[in-house]
Amino acid sequence: MGIYQTVCYKVEDIFIKLLAKKDDPAAVKAKVDQYRTEKERARLQRKEEKAQKIEEQREIRAQQQQEKDRIKREQQEQERREIEHIISNLMENKGQDYSSYEFNEIKRNKVFFQSLAQRVLEPNEKVLTFIFCEYDKSSKQEIKGYLIPTNKRVIFITKNLNYMDKFRYQTIINVNWFKDGLLERGLKIQYGKRRLEFDEMFDQEQMKRVGNIILNNSTRKVV
């Protein structure tokens, strides 16, 4: 029993003695003790029920969180299978060595890559890799889209499929990458007498992957 409860009981005892002068002290004390015992038992029961309710609510919340986590894992797994299915249909060798950049780009732009396979690629044409960038077509025209080397050619195409440019590997003489600002990188492709420039590439490893694949598939290589 706490100090506060002890003091309260002593004050109650004083009032009880004053109010029950004519009653048997022993009987009065027994009734008071019984009342206090029942009251304390009820208090402890309420406390126990409250603790039990808190524990039940905690378990319910834990179960709800587990269910949310399970659903999230299933959704992530379903999405992963969906992305890998697109990769398998789109990329050479069923995309067995796809990069994390390629996976995440397809995840963000599923409709575009599905349309690319269905509406743009020729029969038996497969994507080797790709990167999102800006094509400096002229000093006054800069176009954002994907630079995509395939097993047949190199394609530059916008996300809405409204603009596409095609380049033959046989005409590509050399490929160089360059730094374009603090975080950006770019590729310069010597295409016959023309110099093609693609910049605003923010993933250096993917840029090198694209550049190397284009260079390796061209018939003329400059070391």
Please give the C-alpha separations between residue 60 and each of 52, 55, 65, 166, 168, in angstroms, as whole numbers: 12, 9, 9, 58, 62
Coil/strand/helix, residue 108: helix
3-state secondary structure of 158: coil
Residue type, 203: D
Q: What integer pLDDT is reported at residue 40 of this predicted model?
A: 77
Comparing CA positions, the residue from 184, 196, 200, 195 lying closest to residue 133 is: 200
CA distances from 206 to 13, 58, 78, 202, 209 (A): 85, 46, 26, 9, 5
> Where along the chain do its domains lie?
3-65, 124-217
Domain range 124-217, its CATH number among 3.30.980.10, 3.65.10.10, 3.30.70.120, 2.30.29.30: 2.30.29.30
Classify residue 114 as exposed, middle or buried by CB count within 10 Å of its CB (0-12, 13-18, 19+): middle
pLDDT along the chain (223 residues), means of 10: 59 57 61 73 86 91 93 93 93 85 96 95 96 90 96 97 96 90 87 94 94 87 41
State the CB neighbour count (10 A cutoff) for residue 22: 5
**Which residue in this structure is represented by tokens 């060798």?**
93
CA distances from 181 to 2, 107, 144, 145, 199 (A): 72, 27, 17, 19, 10
Please tell me whether residue 183 adopts helix, strand or coil conformation.
coil
**21-25 own/partner pairs: CB under 8 Å, 24+ apart:** none
pTM: 0.71
**Structural tokens at position 207:** 């840029």
